[in-house]
Amino acid sequence: MSLKFMRRAREDSSQADMDPLAGMANLFDASIVLIVSMMIALFMSLNLMQLFDAEAEVTITTRNAEGDIEMVTREGSEIKVQRVTDTSLSGAGVRLGTAFQLEDGRVVYVPD
């Protein structure tokens, strides 16, 4: 009886060794883990981990090749996209503060 069991176990293992797609599932799992870890490392290196925090307010400012500026703001689950233009506006309003441009190009806002 035990010889039949051993013979059957040997036949099953030889069939598993013949299947060329047997290791593909493990390679797929390993590649998914690698991709996710690379994405997390990218977010950490760019200091964008706040994008995953539901309570955080995130503002990203980008400038394209033509010089147009676009501001993307996320507050909770709401995302707003605003485009900054060079057009002058006029109207009535209240002075809120003063903005100063530093020597290195940064702008500092000082409320009144």
Alpha-carbon distance of 11 to 39, in angstroms, equals: 44
pTM of the model: 0.42
Residue 19 is assigned to a structural domain of this protein:
yes
pLDDT values of the chain reduced to their tens digit, one per residue, 112 residues: 555 655 555 555 555 566 677 677 788 889 999 999 999 898 888 877 777 777 788 888 888 888 888 998 888 888 899 888 777 778 888 888 898 888 988 888 888 7
Shared domain check, 42 and 9: yes
- Asked if the structure places residue 99 within a domain, the reply is no
Q: In a 3-state reduction of DSSP, which class is residue 75?
A: strand
- Full residue range of the structural domain in which residue 80 is found: 52-86
Q: Where are the beta strands (DSSP E) in 4-77?
A: 57-63, 69-75
- What is the C-alpha to C-alpha distance for residues 38 and 32, in angstroms, rounded to an integer? 10
Take residue 26 and report the two structure tokens written for it: 């493990």
